[in-house]
Amino acid sequence: MKNTAVLAFSLSLAGGTLVAQEGSVRSLLSKDLAGDSRREVSLITVEYAPGGSTPVHTHHAQALVYVLEGSIVMQVKGGAPITLTPGQTWSEGRDDVHVVSRNASNSAPAKYLVFMVKDKGAPILTPVK
């Protein structure tokens, strides 16, 4: 099931892909969480063009990241920024504010996979003002 939530400012829904500035978020899978009908598991990919990023946001979900290609910089509010390369992982808690999510390179694309457990029907990403 593709996420159909339309996000306010720099995100738009186009053929099942959310476009974020110079990158895209694609929903691959969404299933009810076994044993908890109020939650679902979602699997998405995020691709950033060189220099691409996502605005400050929350997921209101437990999120696990696995870098597929390139390098990305991740940071939650109150934490230190971390640069990840292919094969490295990162996690984000349900109440974290994701203050940095960007491609570490200005010359090469980056792509990562995200597995998250979230409230059923909730948007994958909620911008923070």
Q: How confident is the model at residue 23 (pLDDT cuts 50, 70, 90)?
A: low
Mean pLDDT of 45-57: 93
SS (H, E, C) 30-85: EEEECCEEEEEEEEEEEEECCCCECCCEECCEEEEEEEEECCEEEEECCCCCEEEC
Q: Give the predicted TM-score (pTM) of the model.
A: 0.80
Residues 116-125 have pLDDT tens digits of 999 998 888 8
- Please provide the size of the chain in residues: 129
Q: Is 11 helix (H, G, I), strand (E, B) or coil?
A: strand
Nearest-angstrom CA–CA distance, 75 and 81: 4
Domain 11-127: which CATH number of 3.30.930.10, 1.10.260.40, 2.60.120.10, 3.40.50.300? 2.60.120.10
Residues 63-80 have pLDDT tens digits of 999 999 999 999 999 999
